[in-house]
Amino acid sequence: MTIGDITPKKERKSRRSKHVVDDTAPLLPKRQDEDAGYDEFNGASFTGAVFNLSTTIVGAGIMALPATMKVLGLILGIAMIIFMAFLTDASIEFLLRFSRAGKTTSYGSLMGDAFGKYGRIFLQICVLVNNIGVLIVYMIIIGDVLSGTSSSGVHHAGVLEGWFGEHWWNGRTFVLIVTTLGIFSPLACFKRIDSLRFTSALSVALAVVFLVITVGIAIIKLISGTIMMPRLLPDVTDLTSFWRLFTVVPVLVTAYICHYNVHSIDNELEDSTQIKPVVRTALALCSTVYIMTSFFGFLLFGDSTLDDVLANFDTDLGIPYGSLLNDAVRVSYAAHLMLVFPIVFYPLRLNMDGLLFPSARPLALSNMRFAFTTVGLITLIFLGANFIPSIWDAFQFTGATAAVCLGFIFPAAVTLRDRHSIATKDKILAVFMIVLAVFSNVVAVYSDAYAMFKKNSVTEPTA
């Protein structure tokens, strides 16, 4: 059954007439997920929706994808990227189909419809954990790129430090303050997600710039014979290396998480039947970027590929204008993350408000609540970025917990609950999603913990 089969024809033309929240349900109050107050808004375009969803998908997770090739090899790695794209499409289709059946207009309302008050609250908590963690990572990477970092014990100079030398005004804290006040705060003040369509388009373009430069460098080095074809298959020599294959799952899950923004984008589309092609177009675009970034990033650095491939561009590339290309890669990606920030922040603010004020009028209609929630969350993220040292521990945690719940476990659970009796063979796929998500992430957490314990046991005698 398709999305269009469930939505009445009179509701397809304009999102302004989509007022379909069931007022008789005590767990679905009139809240910020409704479109009240925007009668002058004529509806978001298909292109704008694709850019907004693509920007939600392509974040900092792309930097870890070349490292997944180092673990899986090119063939299995690319196959996993494609497989996760199809699985993500299926999970989003679950969300949209059951939202149409239950006449709900947000992810939280859908969980409330299926599991009651505590289902909605659990969903909102997962969005908070995932998005706050991701935004802190974004801000840390921006600080690392522009101002440098010494978290590994070795100082890596930032772009501004390399250009102008060490000064107080290009120090980490001051740069993050300027970025927060000058870029994040203004962009976070938009009350409609469609208002970010132009910054989203620029964000996607900057990700493509990063990709084009990486591809160009790899091709030049390949022609000159300074790099070799990397491994096609994983290097499995013992049980430990086998379990390590599963550590890439949280990274791949995080790379495709966009479910918390799908309803917001759907609500603003003029024609609700467009959401399915919007999702598939965005997933196809992002998968192409992911595959090319993974392939050429791994081709360029081979087994020296770091968990954050951006850190590899701190070295001499061994080609003409290598230093200039290094800076171009890092600056383009830092600018990309700056423009991704408001897209991820939008659902974070909605879910925080929904958690604190579940029965209040829509957030967009309360300037006081909107301002306090925005300022409070941005301050929390800023403090986290200045006091949390490791970004990849945060990625492993959010990917193995909140992200996997948002992306696969919750959509599958709603399908198995089947409150409106519309699931058929979907339940088989839903069970597969839950089993794969739980098993893979338990193994990933175990493998990471075991590797950390083994590393500590080796280093302790020499301390």
Q: Where are the domains of the chain?
A: 46-458
* Range from 77-81, 315-319, 417-421 carrying the lowest mean pLDDT: 315-319
**Which CATH code is given to the segment(s) 46-458?**
1.20.1740.10
pLDDT, tens digit, 9 for 90 and up, residues 345-357: 988 998 898 888 8
pLDDT, tens digit, 9 for 90 and up, residues 212-226: 888 888 888 888 877
Give the pLDDT confidence score for residue 5 in this predicted structure.
42
Q: How confident is the model at residue 81 (pLDDT cuts 50, 70, 90)?
A: very high
Name the range with the highest mean pLDDT among 157-166, 167-176, 392-401, 451-460: 167-176
Instruction: Pick 397 or 33 by higher pLDDT.
Output: 397
3-state secondary structure the chain: CCHHHHCCHHHCCCHHHCCCCCCCCCCCCCCCCCCCCCCCCCCECHHHHHHHHHHHHCCHHHHHHHHHHHHHCHHHHHHHHHHHHHHHHHHHHHHHHHHHHHCCCCHHHHHHHHHCHHHHHHHHHHHHHHHHHHHHHHHHHHHHHHHCECCCCCCECCHHHHHHCCCHHHCHHHHHHHHHHHHHHHHHCCCCHHHHHHHHHHHHHHHHHHHHHHHHHHHHHHHHCCCCCCCCCCCCCCHHHHHHHHHHHHHHHHHHCCHHHHHHHHHHECCHHHHHHHHHHHHHHHHHHHHHHHHHHHHHHHHHCCCCHHHHHHCCCCCCCHHHHHHHHHHHHHHHHHHHHHHHHHHHHHHHHHHHCCCCCCHHHCHHHHHHHHHHHHHHHHHHHHHCCCHHHHHHHHHHHHHHHHHHHHHHHHHHHCCCCCCCCHHHHHHHHHHHHHHHHHHHHHHHHHHHHHHHHHHHHHC
* Stated pTM of the model: 0.77
Instruction: Pick 23 or 50 by higher pLDDT.
Output: 50
Percent of the chain with pLDDT over 70: 80
* Range from 112-121, 360-369, 425-434 carrying the lowest mean pLDDT: 360-369
Q: How confident is the model at residue 57 (pLDDT cuts 50, 70, 90)?
A: confident
Q: How confident is the model at residue 297 (pLDDT cuts 50, 70, 90)?
A: confident
Alpha-carbon distance of 61 to 302, in angstroms, equals 19
Give the pLDDT confidence score for residue 282 in this predicted structure.
93
Give the pLDDT confidence score for residue 151 in this predicted structure.
56
Give the pLDDT confidence score for residue 376 in this predicted structure.
92
pLDDT, tens digit, 9 for 90 and up, residues 244-270: 777 777 778 878 888 988 988 888 888
Instruction: Pick 417 or 140 by higher pLDDT.
Output: 417
